[in-house]
Amino acid sequence: MNPHKPQPSPAVAPPQAQTEAQLARLVACQSFSGALRSQEFLRFVVNEALAGRQHRIGAYTIGLEVFERPDDFDPQIDPIVRVEAGRLRQRLERHYLTEGADDPILIDASNSVVRLSKSYDARLEGILDLQAEIARDIADSLSSTITPTFERQLRTTGARDSEVLALYHQASTLRDPPSDPVRSRLAEEAYQRVIELDPEFAGGYAGLAYVLAFRSWWGLSEHPETDAREALEAGRLAVQKDPEFGWAQMSLGIALNVTGDHDGSLDAARRAIRLSPSDPYVLALGGVIRAFGNEVDAGISPARSAIRLDRLSSRTPFRNITGIILFHAGRFEEALEVLYENVRLGGPDGPHMAYYRAGTLARLGRTEEARRELEKASAFPYEFDMRNFLSAFRDPREANELLDSLESLGVDVEVFSAPRDP
């Protein structure tokens, strides 16, 4: 190893062609000989980094894309990504300490971040030439890492008015809980204004689809069929404007679920999670769609991941969503724990969640506590149509799980229930 060669610097990313050549050297080297899993793992993370998709290099996506795990893969239960990541780091370290000691390109996959950097071999007297070489490589690396998709995102973000973005974020704060009709109307007006100001921004259409779909689904609409149809139209426009925007795909998935297209809804949710595996809203709502689409157990992992990704925000619906899914999975102790965690944190609440807490307590034999939750459900300043909410289940037996629990408490479930199985 040349003693005059400085350590690689992550500030200088090498051009794509040099990185691809280094990747080829690595998978063919002694340290990776016969290690097919490590080879595929390395190829995936390097190619995603080169394509400007660092956000996709997460345990869930790697489990699906590299190790062919099913959609309900939970990295917290199945340790394959964690184990193979350790092996990958060991192989890279071994290579760069031995046969790769003089390699010009360093590929570092530690700490869930892929760093591509270049080493330079020069003596002090050639410092001006070295500076010129580094400057050229920085320029080359910038031009090679700005992919067409990333370039489009830079262009559209730069052109987006600050008023549009501020209004979009305000609307996104207003929309939860969607069971509150006042917040729903305010969010709708804000999203409509976003669309007026910037009709090419997918976020406005996605947010509008979310609000209208939930209003129709949760019985808050005077014209539910019209709202459901307009939600579907807005969701499709969001995807048309930006098909690689995970939130756009998820808004379409929600609208499809409300209109009864469960297969289309599940497909859109899977696309959304693949595009945005680190977006807690995408993960949580993906879990809802899985649960309502008769894949209850598969909905638990993404919903729990949403909580882990955003533990500090109390006004998000992630704990409520997780609690509902756990209830329908028959995991009542866990469901109650996460539902009451939401209450303790001052999270979004509504009659529907009081009903779920009551139903969960009833399943656990805690009747008196369950009755107190029923009193809370009737104390909210607005009504909630559980009939509409439960009718979105693909399998009516899932709706009956809650209805039976409430009926055991003396609730007249026919007042608000979805059609019961005979």
User: Could you read off the pLDDT of 366-410 as tens digits, one per residue?
Assistant: 999 999 999 999 888 877 778 778 888 999 899 899 999 999 999
Say yes or no to pLDDT of 140 above 80.
Answer: no
Say yes or no to pLDDT of 201 above 80.
Answer: yes
Task: Let me know: does 23 contact 108? Beta carbons within 8 Å.
Answer: no
pLDDT of residue 9: 41
pLDDT of residue 10: 40
What DSSP string runs through 210-275?
HHHHHHHHTT--SSHHHHHHHHHHHHHHHHHH-TT-HHHHHHHHHHHHHTT-HHHHHHHHHHHHHH
CA-based angle 148:149:155, to the nearest 5? 85
Distance between CA atoms of residues 225 and 412, nearest Å: 27
Beta carbons within 8 Å of 203's beta carbon, 6+ residues apart: 168, 194, 238, 245, 247, 248
**CB neighbourhood size of 151 (10 A):** 11
DSSP 3-state of 106: strand
pLDDT of residue 71: 80
Distance between CA atoms of residues 229 and 213, nearest Å: 9
Which of 83-92, 253-262, 320-329, 393-402 is the least confident region? 83-92
Q: What is the rounded average pLDDT for all residues in the chain?
A: 81
Q: Where are the domains of the chain?
A: 16-146, 155-276
Distance between CA atoms of residues 379 and 201, nearest Å: 39
Distance between CA atoms of residues 133 and 229, nearest Å: 58
CA-based angle 368:371:372, to the nearest 5? 90
For residue 136, name the pLDDT band (cuts at 50, 70, 90): low
Say yes or no to pLDDT of 258 above 70.
Answer: yes
Task: Let me know: does 395 contact 294? Beta carbons within 8 Å.
Answer: yes
User: Could you read off the pLDDT of 172-190 as tens digits, one per residue?
Assistant: 888 877 878 888 899 999 9
The percent of residues in the chain predicted with pLDDT above 70, rounded, is 80
Looking at mean pLDDT, say which of 102-116, 227-241, 343-357 comes out highest: 227-241
Say yes or no to pLDDT of 15 above 70.
Answer: no
Number of residues in the chain: 422
Compute the average pLDDT of residues 191-216.
94
Amino acid 334 reads E
pLDDT of residue 1: 38
- Which one-letter DSSP state was computed for residue 9? B
Q: Is 292 exposed, middle or buried (0-12, 13-18, 19+ CB in 10 A)?
A: buried
pLDDT of residue 286: 95
Say yes or no to pLDDT of 78 above 90.
Answer: no
Which of 36-45, 115-124, 363-372 is the least confident region? 115-124
Q: How far apart are the first and last CA of the chain?
A: 78
Closest CA to 171 of 147, 195, 143: 195
Which of 212-221, 333-342, 382-391 is the least confident region? 382-391
Beta carbons within 8 Å of 218's beta carbon, 6+ residues apart: 178, 179, 352, 384, 385, 388, 389
Here the tokens at position 34 are 């016969």
Closest CA to 58 of 72, 75, 36: 75
**CB neighbourhood size of 128 (10 A):** 9
pLDDT of residue 145: 41
Question: The domain 155-276: what is its CATH number?
Answer: 1.25.40.10
pLDDT of residue 135: 53
